[in-house]
Structure 1
Amino acid sequence: MLRSRLVLLLLRIVLVAAALWLGVVLVFSLPGELADEGLVFRVIAQIVLSIVILCVLAVIVCTWRLLTLVGRDRIFSPESRRWVDAIAWALGIAWVLFAGGALAVAAVIFVTPALRDPGVPMALFGMVVLSALPVLLMLVMRGLLRQATAYRAELDEVI
């Protein structure tokens, strides 16, 4: 039990550090990085990247709530499914925005003769494929949680 409490504490510390870092990126770094760009690009990029960062922050909050349920030994409850569903939705929204942005960048690169280089679009394609993994894994985990919750309810009835 002591080890699991230590792991929960360390995970919470990492979640707080990640949330603080994302907050700094969202408020200070991102606007500064986009300051030299054109107005239309700057506004669109700021909106899309802000939504992606907010989705990741939502995943952090949901993970925190799930850790609380783990600590109370209530992870196999209907309440946990809501938090896992929220994580899946946030990851899905972030992935769709990221994939759309990568597609737009790749289109600009291929349309502009001076920029035609397959390296960046290929790297973006790889990042889009790899970033789909957490979304799909979360959907699998959601199904496993649903099954485990049903088994736990059956076991509680038997006992």
Structure 2
Amino acid sequence: MLTEYRAVIALRFFLAVLFAILIFFQTVSLPGQFAHLAEEAPEDAYLRWPATAVTIFWVLCVQVVIVATWKLLTLVKNDRIFTDAAMTWVNVIMGAIAAGWLVLVGVFLYVGFKASDPGLPLLLFLMLAVSTVVGLVMVVLRALLRRATTLQTDMRAVI
């Protein structure tokens, strides 16, 4: 129990740090980076705003996952993880992953048809593979949570 408590505290600390870093990226770093790229390569300046919007959307998806994870940690702390409330937050995480994945597929296809160098399409393909694996792991974890919740409910009914 003590180890679980420490892990929850540490995870919350690092989730807060990550969230703060992502806010900095959303508001300062990413818009500035794409503005700089538009100045350096005027022929690609038309991509400034779409690239900024897409990357900020991906950061937003990660922020949604962080908030939902925080909520799940609250349920763990209150010993309510095997309830329907947990399923709601897992569904939020899966929705954020799915939304980010769909946009990534669109970017991958757009870049794949336009690229003359294979570097960026390969990087996007790697990101697509990783996000697919993460999404499928979440599907399995959701199924395990559903089964555990059902077993917990059945056990309470018996006792």
Length-normalised TM-score, structure 2: 0.91
CA RMSD of superposed structures (Å): 1.3
Alignment of 1:10-89 (within 5 A): 10-35=10-35, 36-37=37-38, 38=44, 40-89=46-95
Residue in 2 that maps onto 1:113: none
Question: Does residue 4 in structure 1 map to residue 23 in structure 2?
Answer: no
Alignment of 1:109-124 (within 5 A): 109=115, 116-124=116-124
Count of matched residue pairs = 153
Give the whole-Å Cα distance in 2 for the aligned partners of 1:47 and 1:32.
Answer: 12
2:19/2:66 contact within 8 Å kept: yes
AA in 1 matched with 2:93: I
2:97/2:131 contact within 8 Å kept: no
Residue in 2 that maps onto 1:96: 102
Query: Deviation string for 1:111-138 (max 9, x for gaps)?
Result: xxxxx33343233212211221111111
AA in 1 matched with 2:6: L
Detail structure 1 runs of 4+ shifted over 4 Å in the superposition.
none
> Please, which runs of 5 or more residues in structure 1 have no aligned partner?
110-115
Residue in 2 that maps onto 1:138: 138
Query: Deviation string for 1:77-136 (max 9, x for gaps)?
Result: 000000000000001101111221122122111xxxxxx333432332122112211111
Give the whole-Å Cα distance in 1 for the aligned partners of 2:24 and 2:99.
Answer: 22
Instruction: Find the residue that maps to 1:34 and give its secondary structure.
Output: helix
Query: Deviation string for 1:8-59 (max 9, x for gaps)?
Result: 0000011001101110000000011110325531111111111111111000
Instruction: Find the residue that maps to 1:141 and give its secondary structure.
Output: helix
Percent identity at matched positions?
38
